[in-house]
């Protein structure tokens, strides 16, 4: 397929700073690969000319997305202080499920739900990594509070390597209430804490499960822990006191994946 021709822009006269921005070739390509893309416009570094760019241009043409050729200074202004890889896109906001949508999703599943609940994770890098891990392990959704937690920022979307475009991410106003509602749906809530006496590997994760992980350094909050049906720990060796939340999510979710695929 012949690549889309890029239209040169001298300056960022139509700045997309007031809309959702994603950056990085992989993140933009992932946003183009969904059936109905949310990408509106793309800015590419004028000097970029390789197979990945050709693939992106072909996808943009199929989706009817305008692609501009831009100087590095323009790209740096559109996506400041990030490694944008010479590729920035202006997008419609990601469509997100509300609480009703979450329970509709659960009702529609033909297998036991596997959910990840993030209690106050504020680092968008960690959120993006958790989304990527959750999708890879077969989780059906990631849930987080709206307040004092990272949302789907451009950085989180890039770090997710496309998972943010495909995996439902639900931010809720009252996490404790949603956890109780999940319990009413028969979902077992498994929290994590270093002071638990129950090992991850002694826990059944093959049924309807929501794994609950806390913020960096602080862990799950007291009220969140009270709402869990069970609290477990991840066995570790060495001197490290804890794992990064994205690493911990991978350990827990892939143990669930293993148990579900025995």
Pair type for strands 20-23 and 7-8: unpaired
Question: Is residue 117 a known part of a binding site?
Answer: no
**Three-state DSSP class for 42?**
strand
**Three-state DSSP class for 25?**
helix
Q: Which tokens hold the place of 16?
A: 């997309």
Strands (E) across the chain are located at: 7-8, 20-23, 39-45, 66-70, 87-91, 114-119, 141-145, 169-172, 188-192, 209-214, 230-232
**Are 12 and 74 in contact, with CB atoms under 8 Å apart?**
yes
Q: Which tokens hold the place of 83?
A: 């490694």
Question: Is residue 162 a known part of a binding site?
Answer: no
Question: Is residue 186 a known part of a binding site?
Answer: no
Report which of 125, 119, 66 is spatially closest to residue 231, judged by C-alpha positions.
Answer: 119
Binding-site annotation, residues for S-adenosyl-L-methionine: 214, 234, 243
Binding-site annotation, residues: 214, 234, 243
């Amino acid at each position: 397929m012949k690549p889309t021709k890029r239209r040169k822009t001298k300056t960022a006269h139509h700045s997309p700073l007031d809309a959702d921005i994603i950056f990085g070739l992989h993140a933009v390509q992932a946003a183009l690969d969904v059936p109905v893309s949310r990408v509106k416009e793309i800015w590419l570094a004028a000097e970029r000319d390789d197979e990945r760019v050709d693939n992106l241009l072909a996808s943009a043409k199929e989706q009817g997305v305008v692609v501009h050729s831009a100087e590095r200074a323009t790209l740096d202004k559109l996506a400041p202080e990030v490694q944008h890889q010479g590729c920035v896109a202006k997008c419609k906001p990601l469509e997100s499920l509300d609480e009703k949508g979450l329970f509709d999703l659960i009702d529609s599943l033909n297998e036991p739900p596997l959910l990840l609940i993030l209690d106050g994770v504020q680092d968008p890098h960690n959120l993006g990594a958790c989304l990527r891990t959750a999708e890879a392990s077969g989780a059906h959704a990631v849930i987080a509070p709206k307040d004092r937690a990272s949302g789907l920022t451009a950085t989180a979307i890039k770090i997710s390597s496309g998972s943010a475009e495909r995996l439902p991410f639900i931010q809720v106003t009252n996490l404790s209430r949603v956890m109780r509602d999940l319990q009413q749906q028969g979902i077992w809530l498994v929290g994590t804490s270093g002071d638990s006496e129950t090992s991850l590997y002694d826990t059944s994760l093959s049924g309807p499960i929501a794994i609950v992980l806390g913020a960096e350094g602080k862990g799950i909050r007291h009220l969140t822990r009270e709402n869990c049906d069970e609290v477990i720990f991840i066995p570790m060796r060495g001197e490290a006191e804890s794992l990064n939340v994205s690493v911990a999510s991978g350990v827990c979710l892939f143990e669930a994946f293993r148990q579900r695929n025995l």
